Structure 1
Amino acid sequence: MKPEDRRHFSRIHFASAAQLITVDARLDVQVLDLSLQGALLTLPQPVKLEAGEPCLLALRLGDATVKMAAELAHVKADQVGLQCRCIDLESISHLRRLVEMNLGSSKLLERELKALLAA
């Protein structure tokens, strides 16, 4: 079974610049996709990162900034997958609105939010 087959949260394609902050670096990255539980990023240059490292993703959405405390779930060449560990109420509200607009289904979004809260 492929890892993407086990996902419990819908991913939306979302090309945007963001910052990834690790213990050792502050990197300008490109977001490839987002979900309520994480993100897939492209790194601008090769960087030594290890799966399991804590990090913070800061993503500007208009006048707001979504801040997600995460863990590096996987690192492959120039791509990094993040798993959300903590997100504040304001950030999850903005992310929820973005996901809802892209999913086009409030029922699917509500199911994912319930799964997120149960985790």
Structure 2
Amino acid sequence: MIERRRFFRAVYRTPAQLQQGDQHWSTTLLDLSLQGALLKRPENWDEKLSGRFTLTFTLADSNIQITMEVEPTHLDMQRLGVYCHNIDIDSASHLRRLIELNAGDTELLLRELAHLIEDHVEHEQQPPQV
């Protein structure tokens, strides 16, 4: 299998919550990158769910909460992958530091940030699908 990931994924297990409107799901964060996260599939997760969700989790040994606007991208019996559409500046700063510490390579992180900005610009310039 060819690895297509462009972003370093940090293994980071911690309780997390997904929310969409009035619906809430408890889950576990398995790993994350600057572009998204891999979660344990929440109980009672309906595979037909779509749209954007709010993902929140707290960094271990701190009161720092990370909040991301995400959208499901893939699902299997045990895991749910989500793409990050939006993240506030404070959460992005903490996430950047977490990735940097796990990658152990500042140059790698800077390249990934450049790819993330590039991907975001390309995504925003695409005409809406009708």
Q: In 2, distance between residues paired with 1:10 and 1:50?
A: 29
What are the within-5 Å matches in structure 2 for residues 1-119 of structure 1? 2=2, 5-23=3-21, 25-50=23-48, 52-61=50-59, 62-119=62-119
**What is the CA-CA distance between 1:51 and the residue it aligns to?**
6.5
Tell me, what secondary structure is at the counterpart of 1:33? strand
TM-score where L is the length of structure 2: 0.82
Q: Percent identity over the alignment? A: 38
Query: 59-68 or 47-56: which moved more?
Result: 47-56
Partners of 2:117 and 2:42 lie apart in 1 by 33
Contact 1:51 1:73 (C-alpha < 8 Å) held by counterparts:
no
Structure 2 gaps of 5+ residues are: 120-130
SS of the counterpart of 2:86?
Answer: strand
Task: Assess, with a 3 A threshold, how the Cα gap between structure 1 residues 23 and 72 changes in structure 2: closer, same or farther.
Answer: farther
> Aligned equivalents of 2:115 and 2:25: distance in 1?
31
Aligned-CA RMSD value: 1.6
Alpha carbons of 1:89 and 1:21: their partners in 2 closer, same or farther (altered >3 Å)? same
Distance 1:102 1:51 in 2: 32
Moved over 6 A (4+): none
CA distance in 1, matches of 2:5, 2:21: 27
Contact 1:29–1:44 (Cα < 8 Å) also in 2: yes
Write 1 or 2 for the structure with the bigger share of strand: 1
Count of aligned pairs between the two proteins:
117
Q: Is the 8 A contact 1:46 1:77 kept in 2?
A: no
TM-score with structure 1 length normalisation?
Answer: 0.90
3-state SS of 2:85 partner: strand
